[in-house]
A = this chain, B = another copy of it.
Amino acid sequence: MDASHFEHFALKIKIWIEDEKGSVVFGAGRLRILQAVDRLGSLQAAAKELSMSYRAVWGKIKATEDSLGQPLVARRAGGTRGGGSELTPLGKALVERFQRLQTLTETAADDLFQGVFTERDRD
């Protein structure tokens, strides 16, 4: 195999967490939802930004909360319009750790790709 073929290619990677039954616990889609809720302070606003229904956004969050047995999102106290949501400490930790895991995994995968596909021919 001629390594030069692969010099201009990139390895892509997608990661997600599953439970024992093979159901998704968390992944890139739910990360985007939690990030939007954190930034916008509202499930409704997050849903709008992500072009999803409120029901779909809430369903994804609820599914992860059920897997973990603890809330990721809480009603925000006070506020002039008396509403809004914010991430719980668990929600914030999940966002931070999953992002970190994504970055670390991408870096590791890219290093392995370079090693496996640009090493000198053995065949």
Contacts and interface: CB of A to CB of B under 8 A. Distances in A.
Interface of A: 1-2, 5-6, 8-20, 25, 67-70, 89-90, 92-94, 97, 100-101, 104-105, 108-109, 112-113, 116-117, 123
Number of copies: 2
Contact of A109 (B15, B19, B93): B15
A121 to B, nearest CB: 8
A102 to B, nearest CB: 10
Given A109-B109, A116-B100, A123-B93, A20 B8 contact: yes
A116 B116 CA distance: 25
- 9 A-B pairs with least C-beta separation: A1-B93, A108-B108, A14-B14, A101-B116, A105-B109, A104-B112, A5-B68, A9-B17, A13-B15
